[in-house]
Amino acid sequence: MLNVYLLRHGETQFNADGNRYCGRTDIPLTAKGIAQANAVFEQLKGKKIDAVYSSPLMRANHTAKIAAGSESVTVDERIIEIDFGNWEGKRREEFVAENPGLWQLWSDNPAVNAAGGNGETASQVVTRVDNFFKEMLAKHKDQTIMVVGHNGINRLYMAHKLGMPLKNYRKIVQHNSSLTFFQLDTDGELTLEKLNATA
């Protein structure tokens, strides 16, 4: 059994500015984002965490170090945010107005249609994130880890593991720097215990 505290990073300016799509753009946390990460640190005080992993992007890595109260964070490229292609840096209403058909393709079947037309498909995202967690299950059996990733990849992975069609991933809400807790058993089956926990 693997125990996982899964976080979305704290707030960035892209989140604050009408929720612009922030895939690979490497931007820092806002003051509010730093405060959110500190709240997670307080929330996890006294909890034994055996290892901490984060996306290579600064917003996730900074959140991980604050939340864990440690500089000892392992960066893993497989948990970087989705490549949103042409949608990067834009609000949904902006890029839908530019090319509504492209958004419709993604909405109907993101598994095979690339985000932004030239980014990643949801299947590509799920494959790399699933590979990461399979490795974690083998490496940290009967341990607890913290993983700090991103809104897109976290929701797609959970949708996949919970047996949901990937097009329904947006029906899972994950707030900035709120704790999600799940377990993976030896067969890789996921049990979701907490979502957006704040206490």
CATH label of the domain that carries residue 167: 3.40.50.1240
Specify if 102 maps to a domain.
Answer: no
Asked if residue 25 is part of any domain, the answer here is no
Q: Does some domain include residue 107?
A: no
Please indicate, yes or no, if residue 140 is contained in any of the structural domains: yes
Q: Of 23, 17, 170, 126, which Cα lies nearest the Cα of 84? A: 23
**Predicted local distance difference test score (pLDDT) of residue 199:** 61
Domain region containing 148: 2-16+30-82+122-197
Residue 36 lies inside a defined structural domain of this protein = yes
pLDDT given for residue 198 in this prediction: 76
Report if residue 62 sits inside a domain: yes
Looking only at the bridges linking them, the beta strands covering 144-149 and 74-75 are unpaired
User: Under the phi-then-psi rule, with left for phi > 0, alpha for psi from -120 to 50, and beta for the rest, what region is 142?
Assistant: left
HSE (side-chain half, CA atoms, 13 Å) at 183: 8
> In the prediction, which pLDDT does 69 show?
96
Q: Which two tokens stand for residue 194?
A: 């907490």
Q: How many domains does the chain have?
A: 1
Residues in the chain, pLDDT under 50? none
Assess if residue 169 is contained within a domain.
Answer: yes
pLDDT tens digits, 83-112:
999 999 999 999 999 999 999 999 999 999
